Amino acid sequence: MGKRFEGIFPALLTPFLGGAEGGEVDYPGFRENISKYNAFDLAGYVIGGSNGECVLVSNDETAQLVETAKSVAAPGRLVIAGTAQESTRLTIDFTKRLAGCGADAALIRPPSYYKARMNREALRRHFLAVADASPIPVIVYNIPQNTGITIEPGLVVELAGHPRIAGLKESLGSLAYLGEIIRQLPENFSYLTGSGFVVLPALLAGASGAILAVANAAPGLCLEIYRLFREGKIEEAQRRQLDLIPLNKAAMETYGIPGLKYAMDVQGFRGGAVRLPLLPIDEKGKSEIRTLIEGQVHYSPIIDEDKKR
């Protein structure tokens, strides 16, 4: 059996309508974004991840976002939903709920409020219990920059042996981490980089694809890197990777989610407002983002004809 999770998945942002505290979810805008992304040969969509402001969105809102995505996503596009909660029981319950909303897989970060107690055994038992109860495949989510917890490479290898733990999203973009475990993973296990800085190096080292926030604002460029890699045109892919880095740095490091939302707005997508305590991007940031977008090579939608049928 081949890897199920291959290609480029945008980690979808959640557009809000604005207001003093960040307003209501803009569901029509979210639907419009996916309709536009359907023109690109994306592998699917990730809802309820870190860049979707998952900790600022209620479970009911997340469920509605998953239902919306499932209703508008092009045929064959996978919908991956973040289902992590702070207890194992609540994570299981929410995973089952979002599976019922149409999610094809669950993306699960480690519980982190009691991070001092989240040793290897606690994490092992948590992920195995969730996988045992989950009706859909589980993708383990390593994002220590937000959780303060690094899932040890050896634990990833152990978890990969579970029949419903199908992949890993590794968001540090650590090639050392990838190199430590990639040869030990089952053939059908999907290693997905979460960093726009290392899409091509990760693919060359054995990753099956990427879950990228920057793909919200540069879907064509992210797909071009993947396409050129698959075609063996590595020098061209390297040039496209270098093209992606300035926007990825501005949107993901310098200005964060507000910057990425503005990059979407500039290009006719619905980035929308952020929710407090996140603050909107300032005018200096807007100017820098506009300059980057104007100087970026824009790629037309890349459609796989077989997927259209």
* CATH classification (class only), 7-308: alpha beta
Of 143, 163, 208, 200, the closest CA to residue 182 belongs to: 208
The Cα 271–Cα 222 span in angstroms is 18
Give the distance from CA 281 to its chain's centroid: 22
Q: For residue 86, what pLDDT is reported? A: 98
Please give the full DSSP string across 193-235, using - where no structure is assigned. E--GGGHHHHHHHT--EEEESGGGT-HHHHHHHHHHHHTT-HH
Q: For residue 1, what pLDDT is reported? A: 37
Q: 259 near 285, Cβ under 8 Å? A: yes
Per-residue pLDDT tens for 21-78? 778 999 999 999 999 999 999 999 999 999 999 999 999 999 999 999 999 999 999 9
pTM: 0.94
Per-residue pLDDT tens for 236-277? 999 999 999 999 999 889 999 999 999 999 999 999 999 999
**309: pLDDT strictly greater than 50:** no
The Cα 9–Cα 93 span in angstroms is 25
pLDDT band of 301, cuts 50, 70, 90: low
The Cα 100–Cα 272 span in angstroms is 28
pLDDT band of 190, cuts 50, 70, 90: very high
Of 82, 83, 10, 85, the closest CA to residue 41 belongs to: 10
Sheet of 105-108: strand order equals 7-10, 209-212, 190-193, 165-170, 138-142, 105-108, 78-82, 44-47
- pLDDT above 90 covers a percentage of the chain that reads 91
Q: For residue 4, what pLDDT is reported? A: 84
- Lowest mean pLDDT of 100-114, 131-145, 273-287, 292-306, name the range: 292-306
pLDDT band of 306, cuts 50, 70, 90: very low
Per-residue pLDDT tens for 97-113? 999 999 999 999 999 99
Q: For residue 251, what pLDDT is reported? A: 86
- What does DSSP assign to residue 162? S
**307: pLDDT strictly greater than 50:** no
Q: For residue 91, what pLDDT is reported? A: 98
Residue that wins the pLDDT comparison between 271 and 295: 271
Of 119, 121, 129, the closest CA to residue 108 belongs to: 129
- pLDDT above 70 covers a percentage of the chain that reads 95
Instruction: Establish whether the linkage from the previous residue to 258 is cis, with ω within 30° of 0.
Output: no
**96: pLDDT strictly greater than 90:** yes
- What does DSSP assign to residue 55? G
What mean pLDDT, rounded, does the chain reach? 94
**297: pLDDT strictly greater than 90:** no
SS3 category, 192:
strand
Q: For residue 21, what pLDDT is reported? A: 76
Q: What is the mean pLDDT of residues 209-226?
A: 97
Q: In DSSP terms, which residues pair with 79 in a beta bridge? A: 45
Give the active site residues: 169
